[in-house]
Amino acid sequence: MIIPLFSQQYTMLHDMVAAHSIVRVSVYRANEEAEEILSIDLVPGDIMLIPPNGTIMPCDAVLISGTCIVNESMLTGESVPVTKTNLPDPSSSREGQDEIYSTEVHKRHTLFCGTNVIQTRFYAGEPVKAIIVRTGFSTSKGQLIRSILYPKPTDFKLYRDAYLFLLCLVAVAGVGFLYTVVNSILNQVPASTIIIESLDIITITVPPALPAALTAGIVYAQRRLKKLGIFCISPQRINICGQLNLICFDKTGTLTEDGLDLWGIQRVDHARFLLSEEKACSEGLVKSHFVACMATCHSLTKIDGVISGDPLDLKMFEAIGWILEEATEEETALHNKIMPTVVKPPKQPGTELKPADSEEMFLLLLSLLFCEQQQDTAFSLLTS
């Protein structure tokens, strides 16, 4: 009874994954001309064109030109979009040596299968392109689906103890069986009666309905989960849930508030903390290096005219009340990949923000060069 239900859920999940993965994409192949093909025909080495309005990635690919803003919540659970930059040119590296591509090492240049490309940005008129490195079940999404469809065999202590308990019952039943047979023979009991009484001892000691009772509970629980739209492909784990007394969630937003608020700031002057200040946008702090650091040390970007990024960076930037301006697509097409982003307080001279190149950003958590346009001075903010 449990096998048909498991097979049905397995088939539904497999068909749902297969149907979701088939899309039409544009690729560059030997003739160096873009052609549209189905995602199931993609092979490693194809150069994929990323649409300007975004797409769902059907494979794992590494960016070779342009930048992308990607939502990786499908894989990581994080709802904050991340910025992916193109793979740096090995000839321009400091060591002057070629690097072997690795998904873990070059994660910030890799577009993973199943993630949602929200927005792209090209430079010098070159379209956003990526080289396909993995397809099918070899991708990050494929490995996740494979672990769901083919879970590792469960080996819980509960089941080991249950089997040990059954073995003990079998041993007791064996002793009772031998005792009944020997005692009946000595008392010259008929053979038919000996067989019935001996087997009766075994059925009393080891209940034949015990496995059926355990299976019935799993089947009913799995049916209730199915009615709620929950796929269960490892029914043995359902019984383990009955032992749980406490469940801990490790992600903010599941049971707690999904958001942060900035209460205030506390500056340091000559290795001593100053008094706390609740308003970071006060006139006395507008020209301070502290607020300039808050305005520039972040990874915020604009998506459809709305500032997006890490919630902590977003709250910090909103608290100071500054304005973030990015280059338009027309301006981006006329320049190289290092484009200035301007942040400025309301009705104040602007502060030009120049992000470091991708190799420096790999070595530093944040490296920013900003200059005050009015005073013609520059500051470098480095944090490791």
Largest Cα span, the chain:
116
Q: Where are the alpha helices (DSSP H) in the chain?
A: 2-20, 73-76, 140-149, 157-186, 191-205, 210-227, 236-241, 289-296, 311-320, 329-332, 358-363
pLDDT at residue 62, rounded to an integer:
92
Percent of the chain with pLDDT over 90: 3
Predicted confidence (pLDDT) per residue in 231-249, tens digit: 777 787 887 787 788 887 7
Higher pLDDT residue, 162 or 347? 162
The pLDDT tens digits for 101-128 are 888 888 889 999 888 888 887 776 678 8
Q: What is the rounded CA–CA span in Å between residue 107 and residue 70?
A: 12
What pLDDT, on the 0 to 100 scale, is given for residue 61?
92
Cα separation of 307 and 172, whole Å? Answer: 72
Residue reference for tokens 């920013």: 368
Contacts for 12 with CB less than 8 Å, ≥ 6 apart: 231
Residue-level pLDDT at 363: 36
Structure confidence at residue 91 (pLDDT): 62
Of the candidates 60, 161, 200, 250, the residue annotated as catalytic is 250
Q: Partners of 123 in the beta sheet?
A: 126
Instruction: Produce one character per residue of 35-65: b if its CB has 16 or more CB atoms within 10 Å, e if not.
Output: eeeebeebeeebbbbbeeebbebbbbbbbbb
**What does each C-alpha distance from 89 to 85, 99, 117, 223, 340 come to in angstroms?**
12, 10, 23, 55, 21
The predicted structure's pLDDT at residue 8: 61
250 counts as catalytic: yes
> What does the pLDDT look like over 125-158, one tens digit per residue?
678 889 999 988 888 888 887 777 777 776 777 7
For residue 286, which of 236, 239, 346 has the smallest C-alpha distance?
A: 346
Q: How far apart are CA 55 and CA 318, in angstroms?
A: 29
pLDDT at 262: 76
Give the mean pLDDT of the chain: 74
DSSP 8-state class, residue 150: S
Mean pLDDT along residues 291-313 = 76
The C-alpha atoms of residue 21 and residue 18 are separated, in whole angstroms, by 5
The token pair that represents 356 in the structure block: 């470091």
What lies within 8 Å, CB to CB, of 268 at 6+ separation is 274
Contact 81, 71 (CB under 8 A): yes
Across 161-170, 250-259, 348-357, least confident range: 348-357
CA distance 311 to 263: 14
Structure confidence by residue, pLDDT tens digits, 31-90: 677 788 888 888 888 888 888 777 888 889 999 888 888 888 878 877 778 888 888 776
- Assign residue 321 a region: left if phi > 0, alpha if psi is -120 to 50, beta otherwise? left
Pick from 3-7, 47-51, 125-129, 165-169: least confident? 3-7
Taking the alpha carbons at both ends of the chain, their separation in whole angstroms is 59
Radius of gyration of the chain (CA): 32
Q: What are phi and psi of 277, to 5 degrees?
A: -125, 125
Measured from the Cβ of residue 218, the count of other Cβ atoms closer than 10 Å reads: 19
Task: Name the more confident of 5 and 183.
Answer: 183
* Alpha-carbon gap, residue 370 to 163, rounded angstroms: 68
Burial class (CB in 10 A: 0-12, 13-18, 19+), 288: middle
- Give the tens place of pLDDT for each residue, 349-370: 544 444 444 443 333 334 444 5
Percent of the chain with pLDDT over 70: 70
Q: Are 149 and 10 in contact (CB under 8 A)?
A: yes
Instruction: Give the domains, in start order, of the chain with CATH numbers.
Output: 2-149 (2.70.150.10), 157-232 (no CATH), 268-383 (no CATH)
> Of 180-184, 189-193, 376-380, where does mean pLDDT reach its minimum?
376-380
